[in-house]
């Protein structure tokens, strides 16, 4: 089957208290956003182990979005501060290894920012669509399946 | 060497330490091996020279040593950095370790070779920064080219695709023996994420995909913690240049957070803490 247009696959790791609720608000407000995003709810952005992001790429994601509460608003007080520091290191590491960190998106979306959530998702989807599929990772994924 | 044996004998004799982790001669003189001195007699077998490559701090977090009480350890500057980082992370109790600091003029890069390791070229801790007793005379060595730095700059200048193919070729060689983890004094988790099978986060087969995951996660877990002792690279049978990643992450930690691992006992750890003023220009 030949694909005519490339539909990016995007995995989103969102925090339960802010972004997930924000996405909920977008829904109840009947706002429309791209269906390319697959959301995974986690308790806090501090719960997002970088291995999740690697796993997402392994499972065929072309982009990953990570979103949580604004600094200072964390339900667990400091989860997002800790996470933020890790992301600085992790994005640098990915860039160094050759995994373009422009496929990785971070945002703060609070529970009241349904509109912002829609904007973020739209922007992420369009950016990844322009960048095209994550060929390098897809290649090693494919090799892996053949080996099995 | 005599002063080391003399000191070890005293320490073991008067009960200051229960055991001393040090080096003894291996099967050939250029193969110094880790050695645990338990008795005053054992103290006579301790040696220290440029072939003492191992970072012995790796033993400090082992249960069988922890329950022994105070442990003496023969440590070069780079090993002391690892010990300091372990104390910072509350893995080793400060009073439970007796550091015999050694003035070091650089060690060889591995068994059976005579060239000095690259990590020693620009070493800033030839005289350890923390010790209970300091032995040996300070060694002056001529400054050499920092081999790693040049390679890192070269890599930094590459495009993402070029970097990917460079690391793909390197990681392809990985056989998932986890020697890098075992040799690392700071990889002390009792259950490593690579060993978790439900869910299996890091594929255990030596395939490029799992190799990427393993090497990225290993490097990430050591970012801002790696003291640059180079043991992972020395232990690697596939000769993957792990120091290039670790060093780079150390540079990032220095640049972004002005943090150097293992330098100050009372410094808060990098990833265990945060600052409200941390950079967030990449977050929308």
Q: Express each pLDDT in B38-86 by its tens digit.
A: 999 999 999 998 899 999 999 999 888 877 789 999 999 999 999 999 9
Biggest alpha carbon distance in chain A? Answer: 49
> Is A2 within a domain?
no
> Is B275 within a domain?
no
Q: Are A114 and A77 in contact (CB under 8 A)?
A: no
Kindly determine whether residue B161 and residue A136, on different chains, have CB atoms separated by under 8 Å.
yes
pLDDT in tens, A99-139: 988 999 999 999 999 999 999 999 999 999 999 999 888 88
- Smallest CA-to-CA distance from B274 within A107, A50, A94, A88 is with A88
**Is the domain of B245 the same as that of B173?**
yes
- What's the whole-number mean pLDDT along residues A40-66? 94
Biggest alpha carbon distance in chain B? Answer: 65
**Is the domain of B56 the same as that of B125?**
yes
**Interaxial angle between packed helices A50-58 and A135-147, expressed in degrees from 0 to 180 and rounded to the nearest 10:** 70
Q: Which residues pair with B21 in a beta bridge?
A: B36, B73
- Please tell me the distance in Å from A113's CA to the nearest CA on chain B: 13
Q: CA nearest A138 in B: which residue?
A: B209
ipTM: 0.90
> Is A42 within a domain?
yes
Q: B239's torsion region: left (phi>0), alpha (psi -120 to 50) or beta?
A: left
**Is the domain of B125 the same as that of B25?**
yes
How many DSSP H helices and E strands does chain A contain? 5, 4
**Is the domain of B154 the same as that of B63?**
no
> Is B225 within a domain?
yes
Cα separation, B217 vs A49, in Å, equals 10
> Is B213 within a domain?
yes
Cβ contacts of B91-98, under 8 Å, gap ≥ 24: B91/B60, B91/B61, B91/B188, B92/B60, B92/B61, B94/B265, B95/B70, B96/B66, B96/B69, B96/B70, B96/B71, B97/B60, B97/B70, B97/B71, B97/B72, B97/B73, B98/B11, B98/B16, B98/B17, B98/B70, B98/B71, B98/B72, B98/B73, B98/B132
> Is B205 within a domain?
yes
Q: CA nearest B249 in A: which residue?
A: A93
- Those residues whose C-beta lies under 8 Å from the C-beta of residue B62, and which sit 6 or more positions away, are none
- Smallest CA-to-CA distance from A89 within B224, B278, B164 is with B224
- Continuous H helices in B172-237: 179-183, 208-222, 231-235
* pLDDT higher than threshold 70 for residue A54: yes
Q: What is the pLDDT of residue A148?
A: 45
CATH classification of the domain holding A114 = 3.40.50
* pLDDT higher than threshold 60 for residue A1: no
- Please tell me the distance in Å from B120's CA to the nearest CA on chain A: 24
Give the number of domains in chain A. Answer: 1
> Is B265 within a domain?
no
Query: Which of B166, B208, B223 is nearest residue A140 as measured by Cβ atoms?
Result: B208
A with B: how many residue pairs have Cβ under 8 Å apart? 129
State the residue range of the domain holding A54.
10-147
Chain B residues close to A81, C-beta within 8 Å? 274-276, 278
Chain A residues close to B261, C-beta within 8 Å? none
pLDDT in tens, B186-219: 999 989 999 998 889 998 888 899 999 999 999 9
**Is the domain of B252 the same as that of B166?**
yes
Q: Are B85 and B186 in contact (CB under 8 A)?
A: yes
Kindly determine whether residue A89 and residue B249, on different chains, have CB atoms separated by under 8 Å.
yes
Give the number of domains in chain B. Answer: 2
Cα of first residue to Cα of last residue in chain A, in angstroms, is: 23
> Is A38 within a domain?
yes
Q: Which residues pair with A104 in a beta bridge?
A: A64
Q: Are A8 and A35 in contact (CB under 8 A)?
A: no
Query: Which of A92, A95, A106 is nearest residue B283 as measured by Cβ atoms?
Result: A106
Choose, out of A82, A83, A98, A109, the residue to mutate when testing the contact with B (most B CBs < 10 Å): A98
**Is the domain of B131 the same as that of B151?**
no
- Please tell me the distance in Å from B15's CA to the nearest CA on chain A: 43
- Please tell me the distance in Å from A102's CA to the nearest CA on chain B: 10
> Is A64 within a domain?
yes
Q: Which residues pair with B1 in a beta bridge?
A: none
State the residue range of the domain holding B245.
147-257
pTM of the complete model? 0.92
Select the more confidently predicted residue: B155 or B144: B155
Half-sphere exposure of A97 (CA within 13 A, CB side): 28
**Is the domain of B96 the same as that of B206?**
no
Chain A residues close to B212, C-beta within 8 Å? 54, 97, 140
Choose, out of B149, B160, B258, the residue to mutate when testing the contact with A (most A CBs < 10 Å): B160
Q: What is the pLDDT of residue B109?
A: 86
- What's the whole-number mean pLDDT along residues A53-68? 94
Kindly determine whether residue B209 and residue A144, on different chains, have CB atoms separated by under 8 Å.
yes
What is the radius of gyration, based on Cα positions, of chain B? Answer: 20
Average pLDDT, chain B: 91
Chain A residues close to B282, C-beta within 8 Å? 87-88, 91, 106
Chain B residues close to A95, C-beta within 8 Å? 160, 163
Q: A22's torsion region: left (phi>0), alpha (psi -120 to 50) or beta?
A: alpha
**Is the domain of B213 the same as that of B151?**
yes
Kindly determine whether residue A97 and residue B163, on different chains, have CB atoms separated by under 8 Å.
yes
**Is the domain of B21 the same as that of B130?**
yes
**Is the domain of B125 the same as that of B179?**
no
Q: CA nearest B194 in A: which residue?
A: A51
**Is the domain of B151 the same as that of B105?**
no
Cα separation, B19 vs B190, in Å, equals 23
Kindly determine whether residue A107 and residue B283, on different chains, have CB atoms separated by under 8 Å.
yes
* pLDDT higher than threshold 70 for residue A146: no
Kindly determine whether residue B283 and residue A84, on different chains, have CB atoms separated by under 8 Å.
yes
Strands (E), chain B: 19-24, 33-37, 46-47, 71-75, 97-102, 133-135
**Is the domain of B160 the same as that of B202?**
yes
Q: Which of B135, B164, B181 is the last residue of a domain?
A: B135
């Amino acid at each position: 089957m030949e694909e005519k247009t490339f539909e990016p696959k995007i995995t989103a790791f969102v925090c339960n208290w802010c972004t997930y609720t924000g996405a909920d608000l977008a829904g109840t407000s009947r706002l429309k956003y791209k269906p390319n995003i697959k959301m995974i709810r986690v308790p806090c952005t501090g719960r997002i182990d970088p291995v999740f992001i690697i796993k997402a790429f392994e499972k065929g994601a072309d982009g990953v979005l990570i979103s949580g509460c604004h600094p200072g608003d964390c339900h667990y007080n400091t989860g997002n501060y800790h996470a933020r520091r890790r992301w600085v290191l992790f994005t640098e590491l990915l860039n160094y290894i050759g995994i373009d960190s422009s496929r990785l998106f971070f945002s703060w979306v609070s529970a009241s920012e349904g509109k912002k959530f829609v904007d973020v998702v739209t922007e992420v989807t369009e950016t990844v669509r322009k960048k095209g599929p994550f060929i390098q990772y897809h290649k090693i994924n494919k090799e892996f399946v053949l080996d099995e | 060497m005599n002063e080391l044996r003399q000191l070890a004998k005293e320490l073991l004799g008067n009960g200051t330490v229960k055991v001393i982790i040090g080096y003894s001669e291996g099967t050939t003189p250029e193969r110094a091996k880790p050695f645990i001195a338990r008795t005053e007699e054992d103290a006579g077998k301790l040696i220290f020279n440029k072939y003492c490559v191992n970072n012995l701090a790796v033993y400090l977090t082992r249960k069988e040593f922890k329950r022994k009480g105070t442990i003496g350890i023969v440590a070069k500057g780079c090993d002391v950095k690892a010990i300091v980082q372990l104390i910072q992370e509350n893995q080793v109790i400060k009073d439970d370790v007796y550091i015999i600091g050694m003035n070091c003029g650089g060690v060889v890069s591995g068994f059976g070779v005579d060239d000095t390791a690259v990590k020693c070229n620009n070493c800033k801790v030839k005289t350890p920064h923390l010790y209970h007793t300091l032995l040996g005379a300070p060694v002056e060595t001529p400054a050499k080219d920092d081999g790693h730095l040049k390679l890192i700059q070269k890599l930094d200048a590459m495009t993402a695709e070029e970097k990917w193919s460079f690391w793909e070729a390197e990681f392809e060689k990985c056989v998932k023996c986890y020697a890098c983890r075992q040799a690392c004094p700071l990889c002390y988790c009792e259950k490593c994420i690579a060993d978790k099978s439900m869910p299996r986060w890091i594929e255990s087969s030596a395939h490029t995909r799992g190799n990427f995951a393993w090497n990225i996660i290993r490097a990430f877990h050591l970012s801002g913690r790696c003291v640059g002792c180079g043991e992972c690279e020395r232990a690697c049978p596939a000769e993957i240049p792990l120091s290039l990643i670790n060093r780079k992450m150390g540079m990032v930690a220095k640049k972004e957070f002005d943090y150097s691992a293992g330098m100050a006992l009372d410094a808060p750890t990098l990833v265990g803490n945060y600052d409200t003023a941390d950079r967030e220009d990449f977050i929308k």
